[in-house]
Structure 1
Amino acid sequence: MVERLPAAEFASSVGELAALLVDAVDDGASVGFVTPFGRKEAAAWWRAQAPAVADGSHLLWACRDGSGITATVSLVLTSKPNARHRAEIAKLLVRRDVRGRGLSRALLAAAEQAARAAGVGLLTLDTETGSTAERVYLTGGWTRFGIVPGYACSPDGTPRDCSFFYKRLAAPGEAFTGSG
């Protein structure tokens, strides 16, 4: 089951989020980190997100089982006056032992619903070209608008191509009125 992770619970969830991030990096996911990468570094990265989580500009959803958080996704809103109609999907992470159960799609659906409720009409993201994540987006209604060669490095430091995607949640101009 997908649940929004409230800001009040964020600090107490950092350990579980760190374990999930380490699992992704250990599995070769190009999510912004290179090896060696451990729980200490992962926890520090998550703790650095605390101000944005607290002010509501970084929203998180999680799936849990008896062992803790098994999957997560973030919706990162912008404060730029000319960009409040868009947001970014970030850190879609699913622990290796629970993949293939539809968690990615359920998390994305929750983030998309919240984006619509926040007046966001356009979502963007990037992911490693050829990755499992790319297939999730390609089959989930996202539009790839480009590939940048060598954009990000895999955890072993090898430059990898990245695919950039967008998804329209509303017609241009429909979701954002310019006020607020």
Structure 2
Amino acid sequence: MIIEELDSIEESISELSRLLVKVVDDGAAVGFLPPMELSQSREYWETVSSPGVILFVAKINNRIVGSVQLHLCTKPNGLHRAEIAKLITDPDFRRQGLGRALMQKAKKRALQEGRSLLVLDTREGDPSNILYQSLGFIEAGRIPNFAKSANGELHTTVLYYKTL
């Protein structure tokens, strides 16, 4: 497994688009609802590259099988913090340490950027909660009825933070 930072998304947009469709259609709570169209995924990825967003990918056999984003806060009162966003792993490669490796790379980069606080949110009950807690993230609270699933059910989101 190789974790690398993408400076440009152009060469990887097709692969990232297919990965996002696969994880959303598998039930991941990353802001989209299944079934997801490839064109919708591509439109999303075209908006990711912006100042303050650092994108990491996990590759196995030169194939992208996971990604995570580090969003650096650019507001004057938030230059010490960053948000973890869209941690996704291919369902065929889960439970192999991809998520952990991506999170560790994002944490390392946050430290290099002078950040001392990481924040994130995830759907209550998802396996990601176990990962984040094992990485030392602390639950800050819960927001009921935060996100809607494809069947219309409303789900609670859990907010986490970690002091670096």
Residue 67 of structure 1, CA deviation: 6.5
Partner of residue 15, structure 2: 16
Residue 2 of structure 1, CA deviation: 3.6
CA contact under 8 A between 1:35 and 1:156: conserved in structure 2?
Answer: no
Instruction: Give the AA of the match of 2:15.
Output: E
Partner of residue 164, structure 1: 159
Percentage identity across paired residues of the two chains: 36
| More relative contact order, 1 or 2 (CA 8 Å, 6+ apart) | 1
Instruction: Give the AA of the match of 1:133.
Output: S
Residue 129 of structure 1, CA deviation: 0.5
Number of residue-to-residue matches in the alignment: 164
Instruction: Give the AA of the match of 1:105.
Output: R
Q: Give the gaps of 5 or more residues in structure 1.
A: 170-180
Tell me how far apart the structure 1 counterparts of residues 150 and 27 of structure 2 sit (CA, whole Å). Answer: 6
Residue 105 of structure 1, CA deviation: 0.7
Residue 106 of structure 1, CA deviation: 0.7
Partner of residue 89, structure 1: 84
Partner of residue 33, structure 2: 34
Instruction: Give the AA of the match of 2:133.
Output: L
Deviations 1:75-117 (A, max 9, x none): 0012101101000000100100000111111110000000001
Correspondence list, 1:48-87, <5 A: 48-50=47-49, 52=50, 55=51, 57-66=52-61, 68-87=63-82
SS at structure 2 position matched to 1:151: strand
SS at structure 1 position matched to 2:74: coil
Deviations 1:107-164 (A, max 9, x none): 1000000000100000000000010111111222100111111111224442111100
Partner of residue 145, structure 2: 150
Residue 36 of structure 1, CA deviation: 3.1
Instruction: Give the AA of the match of 1:167.
Output: K
Asked whether 1:3 is paired with 2:21, we answer no
Partner of residue 178, structure 1: none
Deviations 1:38-83 (A, max 9, x none): 2110010010112x1xx3x111111112372101111001210110
Correspondence list, 1:168-179, <5 A: 168-169=163-164
Higher fraction of strand: 2
CA contact under 8 A between 2:85 and 2:120: conserved in structure 1?
Answer: yes
Residue 35 of structure 1, CA deviation: 2.8
TM-score, L = length of structure 1: 0.86
| Regions of 4+ moved over 4 Å | none
SS at structure 1 position matched to 2:76: coil
